[in-house]
A and B are shown apart, each in its own frame.
Chain A
Amino acid sequence: MSISQPFRLVGGGRIDRRRRVDFRFNGLRFEGYRGDTLASALLANGVRTVGRSIKYHRPRGFVGSGAEEPNGIFTVRHTGVEGSTIPHAPGTVVELVEGLEAHAVNGWPSLRFDFAGGLQWLGGMLSAGFYYKTFMWPRAAWHWYEWAIRRMAGNGRAPDGPDPDRYDKRNAFCDVLVVGGGPAGLAASLAAARAGARVILADDQPELGGSLLGARRQLGGKPAFAWVANCAAALADEPEVTVLSRTTAFGFYDHGFVAALERCTDHLPPPRRRGPRERVWRIRARRVVLAAGATERPLVFENNDRPGIMLAGAAAAYVNRYGVAPGRRAVVFTNNDSAWRAALDLVEAKIEVAAIVDVRPEPGGALAARAEAAGIPVLAGHAVVDTQGRNALRRVRAARLDGSGARNLDCDLLAVSGGWNPNLHLHAQSGGRPRFDETRGCFLPGPPVQAETGAGACRGTFRLDACVREGAQAGREAALAAGFRDVGVISAPSTDEEGTTDPDPAWAVHSRRPRPRRAFVDFQNDATAADLALAVREGFESIEHIKRYTLLGFGTDQGKTGNVNGMALAAGALGRSPAQVGTTTFRPPYTPVTFGAAAGLATGELHDPLRVTPMHEWHEAQGAVFEPVGQWLRPWYFPKPGEEMRAAVARECLAAREGVGLFDASTLGKIDLQGPDAAVFLDRIYTNDWSSLAIGRCRYGLMLGEDGMVMDDGVTARLGEHHYLMTTTTGGAAHVLGWLERWRQTEWPELRVRFTSVTDQWATIGVAGPRSRDLVASLCEEIDLGPESFRFMEFREGVFAGVPCRIFRISFTGELSFEINVPADYGRYAWDRIVERTEEFSITPYGTETMHVLRAEKGFIVVGQETDGSVTPVDLGMEWILSKKKDFIGRRSLARSDCRRPDRRRLVGLAAADPNEVLPEGAQLVDEPFTFLPVPMVGYVTSSYWSPNLGRSIALALVAGGRDRSRVFAALEDGRFVPVDVVSPVFLDPRGERQRG
Chain B
Amino acid sequence: MAEPRRESPLGRAPAAAPNRLIERPSVRVEELPFRAILVLHGRTGRPRFAQGVAQVLGRPPPDAPNTFVETRFGEEGVVIAWAGPEEWFVIGQEEGTSGLRVALRQAIPETDGAVVDVSSGFTLFTLEGRRARDLVAAGCSIDVHPRAFGPGRCAQTLYARTGVSVLQRDETPRFEMMVRRSYAAWLWRWMESSAELMAVE
Contact = CB atoms under 8 A, between A and B. Distances in A.
B1 interface: yes
Nearest to B3: A802
Interface stretch (B57-65, B73-81, B132-140): B132-140
Given A824-B120, A826-B4, A198 B201 contact: no
Nearest to B117: A761
Nearest to B140: A171
B20 interface: no
Contact of A614 (B3, B7, B39, B141): B7
Interface string A729-769: 00000000000000000000000101011111111000000
A613 B182 contact: yes
Nearest to A614: B7
A632 B182 CA distance: 8
Contacts of B145: 173, 198
A672 interface: yes
Given A614-B9, A721-B110, A758-B116, A601 B141 contact: no
Nearest to B110: A722
Contacts of B186: 605-606, 609-612
B34 interface: yes
B181 to A, nearest CB: 4
Given A274-B200, A606-B190, A756-B39, A611 B117 contact: no
Contact of A275 (B9, B115, B200): B200
A827 B181 CA distance: 12
Interface string B174-201: 0000001111011101100110011011
B88 to A, nearest CB: 11
B111 A170 contact: no
A173 B148 contact: yes
A237 interface: no
A721 B109 CA distance: 12
Contacts of A675: 110-111, 114
A592 interface: no
Contact of A674 (B116, B121, B161): B116
Interface string A805-830: 00000000000000000011111111
A170 B137 CA distance: 6
B194 A601 contact: yes
B118 A168 contact: no
A613 B185 CA distance: 10
Interface in B143-183: 143, 145, 147-148, 160-162, 180-183
Nearest to B122: A760
B10 to A, nearest CB: 10
Contacts of A826: 4-7, 120
A172 B6 contact: no
Contact of B193 (A606, A614, A672): A606
Contacts of B141: 171, 282, 284
Contacts of B138: 168-171
A758 B182 CA distance: 11
A349 interface: no
A672 B116 contact: yes
A672 B121 CA distance: 13
Contacts of B8: 825
A276 B189 CA distance: 17
Contacts of A672: 114, 116
Interface string A176-219: 00000000000000000000001000000000000000000000
Interface in A757-793: 757-763
What does DSSP make chain A's interface, helix, strand, loop or mixed? Answer: mixed
Interface string A76-118: 0000000000000000000000000000000000000000000
A676 interface: yes
A62 B148 CA distance: 47
A868 B190 CA distance: 35
B161 A198 contact: no
A510 interface: no
Interface residues of A, number: 58
Tell me if B's interface is mostly helix, strand, loop or mixed. mixed
B122 A608 contact: no
B12 A828 contact: yes
A801 interface: yes
A759 B147 CA distance: 36
A756 B180 CA distance: 13
B41 interface: yes
Nearest to A264: B201
A160 interface: no
A824 B121 contact: yes
A261 to B, nearest CB: 16
A170 B200 contact: no
A802 B4 contact: yes
Interface string A259-297: 000001000000000111000001010000000000000
Contact of B181 (A276, A720, A824): A824
B179 to A, nearest CB: 9
B126 interface: no
B45 interface: no
Contacts of A830: 4
B4 A801 contact: yes
A538 interface: no
B30 interface: no
Contacts of A676: 110-111
Contacts of B140: 171
**Residue of A675, A757, A825 ringed by the most chain B CB atoms within 10 A:** A825
Contacts of A762: 120-121
Contact of B114 (A756, A757, A803, A823): A756
Contacts of B187: 609
A893 B158 CA distance: 37
A543 B74 CA distance: 74
Contacts of A824: 9, 120-121, 181
A282 B142 CA distance: 11
Contacts of A605: 186, 189
Given A614-B9, A675-B110, A166 B197 contact: yes
Interface string A576-604: 00000000000000000000000001100
A96 to B, nearest CB: 23
Given A758-B118, A760-B120, A674 B4 contact: no
Contacts of B9: 614, 824
B95 interface: yes
Given A611-B183, A676-B111, A760 B3 contact: no
A898 interface: no
A617 interface: yes
Contacts of B200: 274-275
A153 B34 CA distance: 61
Interface in A300-340: none
Contacts of A166: 197
Interface string B91-127: 0000100000000000000110111111111100000
A801 B194 contact: no
B11 interface: yes
27 contacts: A170-B137, A170-B138, A171-B141, A282-B141, A284-B141, A601-B194, A606-B186, A606-B190, A610-B186, A611-B182, A614-B7, A672-B116, A674-B115, A676-B110, A721-B110, A752-B111, A759-B121, A759-B182, A761-B117, A761-B119, A762-B120, A801-B4, A803-B4, A823-B117, A823-B119, A825-B7, A828-B12
Given A198-B145, A675-B110, A760-B182, 7 more contacts: A609-B162, A674-B110, A722-B110, A802-B2, A823-B117, A825-B6, A825-B34
Interface of B: 1-9, 11-12, 33-34, 39, 41, 87, 95, 110-111, 113-122, 134, 137-138, 140-143, 145, 147-148, 160-162, 180-183, 185-187, 189-190, 193-194, 197-198, 200-201
Interface of A: 166, 168-173, 198, 264, 274-276, 282, 284, 601-602, 605-606, 608-614, 616-617, 632, 667, 672, 674-676, 720-723, 752, 754, 756-763, 801-803, 823-830
9 tightest Cβ-Cβ pairs between the two chains A and B: A761-B121, A674-B114, A275-B201, A760-B121, A611-B182, A823-B120, A754-B41, A824-B120, A173-B143
